[in-house]
Amino acid sequence: MSDCNDKQILILHVAEKLFAEKGFDGTSIRDISKEAKINIAMVSYYFGSKEKLLERLILFRTNDLKVQLENIFNEQLTSFEKIDKFIELYIDKIDSNRHMYQILHFEISYKKRAIDLASFTAVKNGNLVSLTKIIEEGQAQNVFKKDVNIPLITPVILGTYFNFHTNKPYFAEILNLNSDEKYDQYIKNELTKHIQQTIKSLLINEK
Amino acid sequence: MSDCNDKQILILHVAEKLFAEKGFDGTSIRDISKEAKINIAMVSYYFGSKEKLLERLILFRTNDLKVQLENIFNEQLTSFEKIDKFIELYIDKIDSNRHMYQILHFEISYKKRAIDLASFTAVKNGNLVSLTKIIEEGQAQNVFKKDVNIPLITPVILGTYFNFHTNKPYFAEILNLNSDEKYDQYIKNELTKHIQQTIKSLLINEK
Amino acid sequence: MSDCNDKQILILHVAEKLFAEKGFDGTSIRDISKEAKINIAMVSYYFGSKEKLLERLILFRTNDLKVQLENIFNEQLTSFEKIDKFIELYIDKIDSNRHMYQILHFEISYKKRAIDLASFTAVKNGNLVSLTKIIEEGQAQNVFKKDVNIPLITPVILGTYFNFHTNKPYFAEILNLNSDEKYDQYIKNELTKHIQQTIKSLLINEK
Amino acid sequence: MSDCNDKQILILHVAEKLFAEKGFDGTSIRDISKEAKINIAMVSYYFGSKEKLLERLILFRTNDLKVQLENIFNEQLTSFEKIDKFIELYIDKIDSNRHMYQILHFEISYKKRAIDLASFTAVKNGNLVSLTKIIEEGQAQNVFKKDVNIPLITPVILGTYFNFHTNKPYFAEILNLNSDEKYDQYIKNELTKHIQQTIKSLLINEK
DNA sequence: AATGAATGAGTGTTCATTCAT
DNA sequence: CATGAATGAACACTCATTCAT
């Protein structure tokens, strides 16, 4: 980020990790300062307050999230391939931003703090637009059916991923994914494939 | 619950609400005692500690979750109808236990507290068994396709619901659900239908 | 004690043990009620308050302390034998009332509580009188020297015993008293003998 | 102490006084902060916890206790004079460290806290060695008798002093020491003399 | 006569934040 | 510019005690 020095970025990274692990309220400034090996006063000094640190963190990361899902539409691909690619990139993106999503997840749920989520909403809207364009193109080509509730498709993608990930211990056990590598591989292959299959089925099958 | 008097149940209800709204760490015993209009010492008196209150709350509610999804299998319904009913009941169940699920969600995610989630896991396993039986029956009847990852189906159901619900403000806006009633109705009708449609599309054995 | 029922006596015994082990402030009514397996309210109910329990305990036990050291004087013994017997009985008495003495010790030291120690003072005075009579008899017989500060003799007896006992772990180690039995035997034999020897040496009228 | 600032030393002093007066459990951090006119959080801030404050206090003071009783042996004095000096210095030392000894006394007696008393034990051992050397020299010169239990001599010295001091109100009354000065003078003169006389008698008289 | 339920005051400790340097 | 020192408020929890039954 432009207006951040190294120490600020360090704090943001450590805060991101700890907030994701233990929650905002469960993480103290002391925890952050200890892990980042910086002075306790630094957080208030640089960010004003713990809450403002969170806001900056969200801003800091949301910029990252504006990845180009919108470009897919213009690529030389079939509608099916575009859907596949959209999901693959989407999953990949949130998977590599797990921490931030975990944090956002909670902040959105909790009515406690009034975090400005405008930029995050903008990202979601952008993604919805991209997806809508792809689907409508497929519908125009008569490869996708017409009566589908498009805004409810992203929840299927994201929700499936998050639910799987939230219950990591459970799925790791019943699917025998006894290492982080296997687990990550499973997400990249099986889970992504499953979601792709699900969305594509929804888009073509009349039932 | 059998071994709980009225005041204990009151505390559990208030705690459930506040934990769901503000998180466990974000809720103080003072908050609970104030909202429940009871003495601060009561929580420790009845439950031993804040953490044990959470444990009791989970236990208290998890018992509620063991509703009979397993009975659906034996009803006189087509495989598709069984899937519809399974999803409808499932969504309905988690929707009326939103608070508890919200809390569990966080407790599962956070590595902080070592809550005993055995009973919750048992519920999930039971539901998976029920679903598997329905699907395998449909596969045996050749109405469902074989190539489907059954354990990944519940994440689609639950995940979609939760993702929708977590982003309530977002969806309320883009779907124009400007009252809680409309929002709840949307879940009961559109969202449930969408999920049913999604799962059935995924399962259908198209020629 | 006349006006104490069994439960009250049980409480007094348990309180004595715990007060001696952990101090008055370090012992909670809960500790007592738990160890005595009685209701928490019982202590306040029977004794009025924790502090009054302590008072009653002191009264209860001080009566026990009024053992007959005064009879020694009238026995058919030499002055040395009387001293020996006085010390032996004295040590034996405080040794079997360790707990109470430990408690009294602290209560006397601390300015915190205004415990009525009149009866305890009376006991000490009685003992001092008895000792004085024995010593003065020896002095009259010219076997004890005149130049001795009699009131400072009991501190030597009691102090030595208590200092030894307070530093039990230390002495147990350097004297190789690796069991409670050995330790108790050492007090009964060596320590008592040592104190007797000390006092008699002090009293002896060497030419 | 080297690594203590003024405020820390202030806290240590106030804590020492209050712990000695009212016991560790009987003294609250609020009591200390009030008396020292510092913020309540300071104790935890500087020492980590109330218990660690006690530990630091013991360490802080025990260093003081390592006074040179060992030098006496090498001085140009008779064995008798060495004993006299040893006792005088010893009494003087513990008398000026009353508070700390009072505290230690209790901590040693109570099984509650696991305070590291290693350094205190070391001091005791050092003193015992010094005393042993003096006595053995006297024995070698045939001025002291042989059959004396040397490890039991320090309990006579310390015990007599402590017993006298613990029962200050009692002795103040029967010895008519109606001011702190008179009382202190009595310890310095009479009591010390009495203890010296006692030990010397023990070391020379066969009985 | 005895007790379970309940409570207000107090416990030690941690919190995010401020401020002098 | 950066930080160690310091703090008031809040934290979860335990205390001795009371009271209705």
Render pLDDT for C40-88 as a digit per residue (tens, 0 to 9). Answer: 999 999 999 999 999 999 888 887 776 677 788 888 999 999 999 999 9
**Is strand F less than 7 A from the beta carbon of B104?**
no
Measured N-to-C along each axis, helices D118-140 and D153-166 cross at an angle, to the nearest 10 degrees, of: 120
Q: Give the C-alpha distances (Å, rounded to integers) separating C43 from B32, C15, C36, C54.
A: 32, 10, 11, 11
Compare CB distances from A155 to B105, B152, B164 and report the shortest one's residue. B164
Query: Cβ distance D139 to D161 under 8 Å?
Result: no
Helix, strand, coil percentages for chain A (3-state, nearest 5):
75, 0, 25
The DSSP secondary-structure symbol of A49 reads S
- Compute the nearest-CA separation of D151 from chain C (Å): 8
> Between chains, do D174 and C190 touch, taking CB under 8 Å as contact?
no
Q: Give the C-alpha distances (Å, rounded to integers) separating D147 from A141, C194, D44.
A: 115, 10, 52
Chain D, 137 to 166: residues with Cβ < 8 Å from chain C are 149, 151-152, 154-156, 158-164, 166
Q: At B77, which amino acid appears?
A: L
How many distinct helices (H) and strands (E) make up chain D? 11, 0
Q: For residue C199, what pLDDT band results from cuts at 50, 70 and 90? A: very high
Q: For residue B3, what pLDDT band results from cuts at 50, 70 and 90? A: low
What's the pLDDT tens digit per position in D104-163?
888 888 877 777 778 788 888 989 999 999 999 999 999 999 989 999 999 999 999 999
Range B170-190 average pLDDT: 94
How many distinct helices (H) and strands (E) make up chain C? 11, 0
Measure B56 CA to F21 C1' (Å).
Answer: 29
Q: At B14, which amino acid appears?
A: V
Range A158-182 average pLDDT: 93
**Is strand E less than 7 A from the beta carbon of B41?**
yes
Asked if C102 has any chain D CB less than 8 Å from its own CB, the reply is yes
Q: Which chains have 3 or more CB–CB distances shorter than 8 Å to chain D?
A: C
Please return the burial class of D147, using the count of CB atoms within 10 Å of its CB with bins 0-12, 13-18 and 19+: exposed
At A207 the pLDDT is: 52
Please, which residues have CB within 8 angstroms of residue B126's CB and are 6 or more apart in sequence? B66, B69, B70
Instruction: Please tell me the distance from the alpha carbon of residue A5 to that of residue B196, in angstroms, as a whole number.
Output: 50
User: Which of A94, A109, A108 lies closest to A162, judged by CA?
Assistant: A94
Q: Which chains have 3 or more CB–CB distances shorter than 8 Å to chain B?
A: A
Measure D178 CA to F17 C1' (Å).
Answer: 40
User: Which of D37, D59, D35 lies closest to D47, judged by CA?
Assistant: D59
Among the listed ranges A130-134, B86-90, D107-111, which one has the minimum average pLDDT value?
D107-111
- Supply C182's token pair: 């050995």
* Residues in B touching A160 (Cβ below 8 Å): 152, 155-156, 159-160
Task: Give the CA-trace dihedral at D115, C166, D161, D199, to 10 degrees.
Answer: -120
Q: Which residue has the higher pLDDT, A120 or B20?
A: B20
pLDDT above 90: percentage of residues in chain C: 67
Task: Give the nearest nucleotide to B5, CA to C1'.
Answer: E5
Range D85-108 average pLDDT: 90
- Supply D1's token pair: 């102490």
Chain C, 53 to 72: residues with Cβ < 8 Å from chain D are none
In a mutational test of the C interface, the residue from D123, D160, D183 whose CB has the highest number of chain C CBs within 10 Å is D160
Q: Name the closest residue (CA) to the C1' of nucleotide E13.
A: D44
